[in-house]
Chains A and B, each alone.
Chain A
Amino acid sequence: MIEDPLESLTELLAPLTPRGRAVLLLAMILIIAGVLSKNQLGLVYLTTGMGIALLVFIERQVFISRLSAASRMTIERRIDEPLIEGERTKARIILRNNTPIPIEHLELYDDPPRLFKTEKPPAAALALPAYGEAIIEYDVKLVVGKHEWSPPRIVVGDFLGFFRSEVFHGQRALVIRVQPRVLELSRKTLALPAVLQPGGISKARRKGVGTEFLELREYVPGDEPRFIDWKAFARTRKLMVKVFEQESVLRAVIVLDAWPTMFRGVIGETKIEYSARLAIALAEYFARRGDTYRLYYVAPDDSIAYTSWLRGRASSTAARYFLAENIEWSNIDYAIGSYAPSIRARKLQSTLVRTLPRSNTIVFIITDLGEKKASAKEYGDYLGKLIAMHNTLFALVPLTTFFEIKTLQGMSAALYRILSYRDMVYYMDMLKLLRRAGIYAVAMGPMDLLSYVLTKIEHLRGMSV
């Protein structure tokens, strides 16, 4: 059946590049010149014009075959794990041609999540052989949270440059979860009684009778024979005893209250990222100490997610994964005026009351309160009720001023301090409102607060430092 000529013409013209159109124009002009000319030369022009037009028609079929081959390609994306924020990781895209048709010109444009940093836009132009494979890789710097990674754009062209078209694959976006890294302790604050571990968490554990195995050491007279490890003796021919950790004495809750204002700032140094690192640092600390803890995440839309009660060294992985799953950068509504702090505070209070045991829980709330005094008042009113239930509340408030100063130096930093004095006064008033409700409120910046918090925790535990 002969197709509609207009439809055929539209189909022919659709994937033509400007070069292809110019060549087709040349063909038409030569054909017209051949038709108009009455001498033998006219036939030459006509033949040439016809030849060029036929070249375009045949090349189009070649291009369609390449397009079909590209549409049957398999595309696989691989990212080196573990996915930890701030680290440069290798992203790989593997293209497999499953047909006997080679693709001479293929362009790939990848579109990582907008917050991820690459040195240059990730793209490649290559030739993919028949039944061959191409692996494209590049480095990308990750940002904490859950991100959608769109499938790459694939564009196919022909070698002569007459045709070009995008291939639609129907591949779904990949969801990746990047875990926060652990906050490091600064060397200045060595207020804790143990050696710093990699990752900056102190290992201030107490040895004693407990359920968690800590280490093996050589037997000394006076040790209880029931703790001798006979398997180790068989191995080493030395008497070794097992050392256990003292059981948990603390029950703690870490609440990451993610107001939209927390997502502002330079990527890598935003309040939410810093707060996530702090939350994980605390989780790591509690995990290594054998304490029982729980994480809560209050999203910008006031929804609340929380983990089960966590305990043990492996629990910090669950904590990391929880934050990686819940921190989402898309759809942040920066219209802070639309938020009602009272609703948020009430929701948080009711969730904590419902899920916490009756008393003796230390609650760490990491929140910037939307940088509004009204929020501080509401939080004080609602969360103060938890204090009445014999819980201890700490509010760790990251302040924008401290984060912004970090990016400035010298005179600029000094000037900024002067100009932001009023903001500081405002923030201090916010903290006063929280303290009035009995909440231990501390302002924090990207400089180390971790040691202060850990010191407080050890103090509560009954250790003196």
Chain B
Amino acid sequence: MSTSRFFSLALRLGAGAVLALSLYIALGRASLARLVENIPVLSEGYPVVIGIILLVFLLVAYGRPGTAYALSALLAGISALYGELETRYFVLGLISSSILYTLAHRLEILSRSEGKYKIRCERRCILYTSGVLITTYVLVALGSVLGALWVKNLYDAILRAPKNLPEPLLELWRLVSQSITTRLLVALLLLGIFYYMTMRLASPIVYALTARREDLWARIVELLRKEAEAVSMRRKWYHKMLGSSLLLTGFIPEIMISMMVLILLITFANIDILSNSNAYAILAILSMPIGYAAAKYTIKMLTGSTNYWSKLVSVSSLLLVAFIAYTVFSSPQGIDNIVEIFRAAIEGEPAPYTRLDLKLAPLLATYESYVYKLGRWIEHIARVIVELLWG
């Protein structure tokens, strides 16, 4: 047996031993007992679990690390579900085992093949290699550990209810946050965000390090040119966002009109839906996208262009004038209750002619005051930004 083959075998056995040992320690005697008690297939006792751990060792030694790691992950996962897993030992053991196996695989290739190699590395090479390796693995370790802690804090913060929340909302928050679906969704969402973040942060760095100098300069120049073009054409994401917010503001008349139309339809159809303030709130929420979509579609059809901000504001203003004119002329005919409803919605007072659910009256009042304050803040910020950008 050649030296490489001998060391390869030794490293593979070592990798298997490290994984099996770490799994055994991570499971611990207590959790082994519980696993044995609770899982029917393991009811034969410790020998079965020990057998699985030995199997993991043999699989790694035989050259099937993927199967071994999957099996040990399942066993560890089942143990974790029963709340009896020492994660530190297992994770460290898993990573160490994997590194050892990679080295074993490398020696195995060398032993089975014909090919001697030599490496040439001068001063610059040594400097860059050591620098990049140290930086990379420090970042990997720190990124994983700190990132995990940060995610944990975020997860905790999202699911913990804010202190100043009113009691009914607090109760609602607790109910929602304790549901498994919510927790799972939040966890996956955070995971997705972190995946996206690592990708977006790493991709330009990798490109900058590996691209040829001339390609890199050309790419930087092109990016700067596109950026300048987007700013001059007002196509940046903040312009679009601002445009959308302003559009939304400009669409308030359409929203109000659509809400009014819905209320009128319900009244004429004699459906007593407005006695329930939840339905009233839903109606208000629904009228926003309906009004927005209707107005956007109308403007697009009329103008045929995508940059319709000014046209939209003009049309919205016309509609608002028309609405005011309508209410002014129609109020003598006894439709002043509609005016009252809209005034209540704008000024944050409860609607006078709706029969409110007594239990949720304070809730609705609080909700409406929040919406009113939010609306005022948004308007104020929008005005400041428009002043800054467009003067």
Contact of A131 with B125 in the complex, beta carbons under 8 Å: yes
Contact of B126 with A22 in the complex, beta carbons under 8 Å: no
Does A113 sit at the interface, judged by CB under 8 A? no
Contact of B66 with A54 in the complex, beta carbons under 8 Å: no
Report the minimal beta-carbon distance from A266 to chain B, rounded to whole angstroms.
Answer: 21
Q: Which residues of A contact B114 (CB under 8 A)?
A: 118-123, 138-139
**With contacts defined as CB atoms under 8 Å apart, how many contacts are there between chain A and chain B in the complex?**
254
Does B190 sit at the interface, judged by CB under 8 A? yes
Interface residues on B, range: 35 or more
Does B183 sit at the interface, judged by CB under 8 A? yes
Contact of A99 with B209 in the complex, beta carbons under 8 Å: yes
* Contact of A129 with B144 at beta-carbon distance under 8 Å, contacts A26-B76, A102-B133, A161-B101 already known: no
Contact of A102 with B148 in the complex, beta carbons under 8 Å: no
Contact of A101 with B113 in the complex, beta carbons under 8 Å: no
Pick the contact of A18: B65, B105, B106, B144 (CB < 8 A).
B65
Contact of A50 with B118 in the complex, beta carbons under 8 Å: no
Report the minimal beta-carbon distance from B181 to chain A, rounded to whole angstroms.
Answer: 9
Pick the contact of B98: A36, A46, A128, A162 (CB < 8 A).
A162
Pick the contact of A50: B83, B119, B139, B148 (CB < 8 A).
B148
Contact of B129 with A123 in the complex, beta carbons under 8 Å: no
Complex Cα distance A12/B85, Å?
A: 28
Q: Which residues of B contact A29 (CB under 8 A)?
A: 73-74, 76-77, 80-81
Does A64 sit at the interface, judged by CB under 8 A? yes
Does B70 sit at the interface, judged by CB under 8 A? yes
Contact of B69 with A32 in the complex, beta carbons under 8 Å: no
Pick the contact of A43: B112, B120, B152 (CB < 8 A).
B152
User: Which residues of chain B from 62 to 118 have any CB-CB distance to chain A below 8 Å in the complex?
Assistant: 65-70, 72-74, 76-77, 80-81, 83, 85, 87, 91, 94-95, 98-99, 101-102, 105-107, 109-110, 112-118
Complex Cα distance A25/B109, Å?
A: 28
User: Which residues of chain B from 333 to 382 have any CB-CB distance to chain A below 8 Å in the complex?
Assistant: none
Complex Cα distance A51/B87, Å?
A: 11
Does A176 sit at the interface, judged by CB under 8 A? no
Complex Cα distance A123/B105, Å?
A: 13
Complex Cα distance A57/B190, Å?
A: 13
Contact of A58 with B143 in the complex, beta carbons under 8 Å: yes
Contact of A129 with B195 in the complex, beta carbons under 8 Å: no
Contact of B106 with A54 in the complex, beta carbons under 8 Å: no
User: Which residues of chain B from 159 to 185 have any CB-CB distance to chain A below 8 Å in the complex?
Assistant: 178, 180, 183-184
Complex Cα distance A159/B194, Å?
A: 22
Does B279 sit at the interface, judged by CB under 8 A? no
| Among all A-B residue pairs, the 7 with the closest Cβ atoms | A18-B66, A29-B77, A51-B148, A22-B69, A123-B113, A61-B202, A26-B73
Extra inter-chain contacts (4) besides given A2-B196, A130-B129, A162-B98, CB under 8 Å: A19-B66, A35-B184, A46-B152, A51-B147
Task: Give the interface of B toward A (CB within 8 A).
Answer: 65-70, 72-74, 76-77, 80-81, 83, 85, 87, 91, 94-95, 98-99, 101-102, 105-107, 109-110, 112-122, 124-126, 128-129, 132-133, 136, 139-140, 143-145, 147-149, 151-152, 155-156, 178, 180, 183-184, 187, 190-192, 194-196, 198-199, 202-203, 205-207, 209-210, 212
A-B contact pairs, 19 of them (CB 8 A): A22-B68, A23-B73, A25-B77, A26-B76, A26-B77, A29-B74, A39-B83, A43-B156, A45-B80, A50-B147, A52-B144, A72-B212, A100-B128, A100-B209, A102-B129, A107-B106, A122-B113, A123-B112, A124-B117
